[in-house]
Structures are given as structure tokens and as C-alpha cells.
């Protein structure tokens, strides 16, 4: 182990957890009763925005995303974090630099402290404008490396991408595993290599639980000297979501790196959202069993819940495995 500093937690309950399990259907009124307890739980940062949030809030929830960002950032004393897709912002199209800069400026004005940015293909030219805009607006910059499986994505590839981010002068570097493809064995070589290449920049892990292996992958991050891990409240963890804060805390404690957390507050947060699941018939996260098909279709956790919701709407939820197989075939073509 390279460090005994606490392995700090970043909460995703208000964003990625419900994106993965509820198709991003958590409303601001859903969030409000839990904010005080989330705030005093001891998280280093709280993630409140990601790519799907804007679309769902406008199209389905009929809420103003900017008002939510401002409201949450004012209610929470813990610094808030917003994730964008670099030059694509919140979509899959490319926007001009001035549009990217305006978006970052508005996030900063809303009170967001950390700008998390990534390019899905790790083409770091597509995050340069975001990094520059974040710096101009006094934000901390968290740049992500997107993990994938291919003959190209070896340790040397990720070392090279990490060094690019170092040259950009970012404040944090995250290993983003959106599908949960990482295994402990792969992490055992990759994570020390990234830590070394980062040259002292704190490293974060963001990995989903679709393979069921993410809790063990987080242990490898803790052993390798990562500084932060993204986690969710227990009832909204696992499955397509991220690991439970309780599980990751236990792992950090095992390796002598447990952060200071308010367990009473964590319990109250979980009890509240567990009640919401019962009241509104929302899904709870369940521990996934190993599924080798995941390593073929590689559908991210943030997308699978939307796919399942769409299949259910069409009355063909029972054909999920077949459709994922078709996705794999199309990708190969």
C-alpha cells in the first residue's frame, strides 16, 4: 500500500444511483428531505449532475435543471460536483468552444465547485475547452479516463492518457468504469500504473456493479493508493449502480484507510430512500451475479436502466438478453 491517508467517499445517490436504477427519475422534491443528512454524512464531494439529468428533467420531470443545481449547491455545504461530456456537454453531438465555456460558467454561477469532464473515447483534445473554462471560473477540475475492453486498452494506453491529463493541469483524475468491466486482476496492474503516471494528482474510482465485481475492484483501488471512491447509499447501490458506501467503508477500514463518516446520518439517508422505493414503487439495487454477456455488449450502467424501461413500455422486457446480443452484433459490424 502506498498511502495511509483516508480513502474519501463521493456520493452519487442524487445522480448516478437513480440514473442507473430509476432511469434518472428522482425529482428535486424526492431529494430535499435527505439533503441535511447527506451533507453531514462526511462525504468529500456530492455528485449532482450528469449527462442524462438535463434531458430527463426537461422531458419527463418538467423541472429546470439550472434551478436544481443552484438549489442543491446552496443547500449543501459539502462541495457539489457536475459531470459533463466535454465538447458534447450533455449530448452526443459536438458544440463550439464558446457554448462549452458558457455551460461551465453557468455551472460555476450555480455554485458547483467541481467540474468533472470526460471524453468517452479518451480523446483528451475534446476536454481542453472545458478544462480552460473551469479554470477561468475558479472550479476544481476532475478529468476522467474511460475504461473499456479492447486490444488497444492496455496499461500503456491508460498511462499515455493519464500523462495527457497531467499536462492539462487537472486537480483530480478518475478511472471511470461505466459498465463495470474491471476485474480485481485487471485493476491490480492498471491502478498502480495510473497512480505512478499521475505524478501525485489524486486518483478517484468510479465503477459500476453490473458484473458484481466492483466492491473487490474498489479494494484494489484502496491498496493502490487511490484517494477517492464514488459510492451510493445502500438501498440504491449495486446492480447497475455503484457500490454501497457501507461496503466500501468496510474495505477502507480493513486496509487502515477508513474516512471519518457519520454512520447515523448514513443510516437516516438510507432509511429515507428505502421508504421512497416502497412509496413510489422504485427499484432497489440488488447484488449482481457474474454475467459473461456483459463483457460482450458493454452497455453502461447509466444506459441499461433506460433500455429496460423502454423495453417494459413496449411490453418486451423479457427480450432484454436477446436485444443486448443484437447490440453486440451491430457493434461488431
Residue 309 has pLDDT above 80, yes or no: no
User: What whole-number distance in Å separates Cα of residue 238 and Cα of residue 107?
Assistant: 29
Summarised one tens digit per residue, pLDDT across range 91-139 is 989 999 999 999 999 999 999 999 999 999 999 999 999 999 999 999 9
Residue 261 has pLDDT above 80, yes or no: yes
Mean pLDDT, rounded, for 170-186: 97
Residue 54 has pLDDT above 80, yes or no: yes
Mean pLDDT, rounded, for 9-28: 97
Torsion of CA 107, 110, 116, 120, to 10 degrees: -40
User: What whole-number distance in Å separates Cα of residue 331 and Cα of residue 136?
Assistant: 39
Summarised one tens digit per residue, pLDDT across range 185-228 is 999 999 999 999 999 999 999 999 999 999 999 999 999 999 99
**Which pLDDT does position 1 carry in this prediction?**
44
Sign of CA dihedral 149, 45, 307, 55: negative
Global pTM reads 0.89
Between the CA of residue 47 and those of 17, 43, 50, what are the distances in Å? 10, 10, 8
* Spatial CA neighbour of 149 closest among 248, 292, 319, 306: 292
Residue 331 has pLDDT above 50, yes or no: no
Residue 285 has pLDDT above 60, yes or no: yes
Sign of CA dihedral 181, 186, 187, 191: negative
What is the DSSP pairing of strand 8-11 with strand 228-231?
A: parallel
Residue 294 has pLDDT above 70, yes or no: no
The per-residue pLDDT of the chain, averaged, comes to 92
User: What whole-number distance in Å separates Cα of residue 209 and Cα of residue 190?
Assistant: 18
Contact 8, 81 (CB under 8 A): no
332: confidence class by pLDDT, cuts 50, 70, 90: very low
Residue 324 has pLDDT above 90, yes or no: no
Summarised one tens digit per residue, pLDDT across range 152-170 is 999 999 999 999 999 999 9
User: What whole-number distance in Å separates Cα of residue 173 and Cα of residue 195?
Assistant: 9
Name every residue whose Cβ is closer than 8 Å to that of residue 26 and which is 6 or more positions away in sequence: 14, 18
What stretches of the chain adopt beta strand conformation (E)?
8-11, 45-49, 80-84, 114-117, 140-146, 172-177, 203-207, 228-231
Amino acid at each position: 500500500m502506498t498511502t495511509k491517508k483516508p480513502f474519501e467517499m463521493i456520493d452519487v445517490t442524487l445522480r448516478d444511483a437513480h440514473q442507473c436504477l430509476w432511469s434518472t427519475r428522482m425529482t428535486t422534491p424526492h431529494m430535499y428531505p435527505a439533503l441535511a443528512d447527506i451533507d453531514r454524512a462526511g462525504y468529500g464531494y456530492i455528485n449532482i449532475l450528469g449527462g442524462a439529468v438535463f434531458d430527463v428533467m426537461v422531458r419527463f420531470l418538467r423541472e429546470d435543471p439550472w434551478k436544481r443545481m443552484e438549489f442543491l449547491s446552496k443547500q449543501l455545504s459539502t462541495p457539489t460536483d457536475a459531470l459533463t461530456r466535454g465538447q458534447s456537454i450533455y449530448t452526443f453531438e459536438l458544440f463550439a468552444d464558446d457554448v462549452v465555456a458558457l455551460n461551465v460558467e453557468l455551472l460555476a454561477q450555480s455554485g458547483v465547485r467541481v467540474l468533472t469532464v470526460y471524453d468517452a473515447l479518451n480523446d483528451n483534445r475534446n476536454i481542453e475547452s472545458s478544462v480552460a473554462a473551469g479554470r477561468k471560473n475558479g472550479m476544481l477540475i476532475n478529468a476522467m479516463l474511460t475504461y473499456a475492453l479492447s486490444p488497444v486498452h492496455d496499461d500503456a494506453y491508460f498511462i499515455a492518457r493519464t500523462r495527457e491529463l497531467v499536462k492539462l493541469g487537472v486537480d483530480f483524475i478518475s478511472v471511470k468504469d461505466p459498465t463495470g468491466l474491471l476485474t480485481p486482476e485487471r485493476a491490480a496492474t492498471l491502478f498502480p500504473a495510473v497512480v505512478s503516471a499521475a505524478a501525485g494528482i489524486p486518483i478517484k474510482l468510479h465503477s459500476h456493479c453490473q458484473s458484481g465485481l466492483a466492491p473487490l475492484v474498489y479494494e484494489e483501488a484502496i491498496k493502490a493508493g487511490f484517494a477517492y471512491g464514488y459510492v451510493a447509499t445502500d438501498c440504491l447501490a449495486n446492480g447497475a449502480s455503484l457500490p454501497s458506501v457501507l461496503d466500501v467503508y468496510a474495505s477502507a477500514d480493513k486496509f487502515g484507510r477508513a474516512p471519518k463518516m457519520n454512520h447515523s446520518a448514513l443510516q437516516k439517508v438510507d432509511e429515507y430512500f428505502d421508504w421512497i422505493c416502497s412509496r413510489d414503487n422504485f427499484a432497489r439495487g440488488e447484488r449482481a451475479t457474474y454475467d459473461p454477456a456483459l463483457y460482450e455488449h458493454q452497455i453502461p450502467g447509466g444506459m441499461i436502466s433506460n433500455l429496460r424501461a423502454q423495453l417494459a413500455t413496449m411490453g418486451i422486457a423479457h427480450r432484454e438478453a436477446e436485444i443486448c446480443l443484437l447490440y453486440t452484433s451491430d457493434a461488431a459490424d
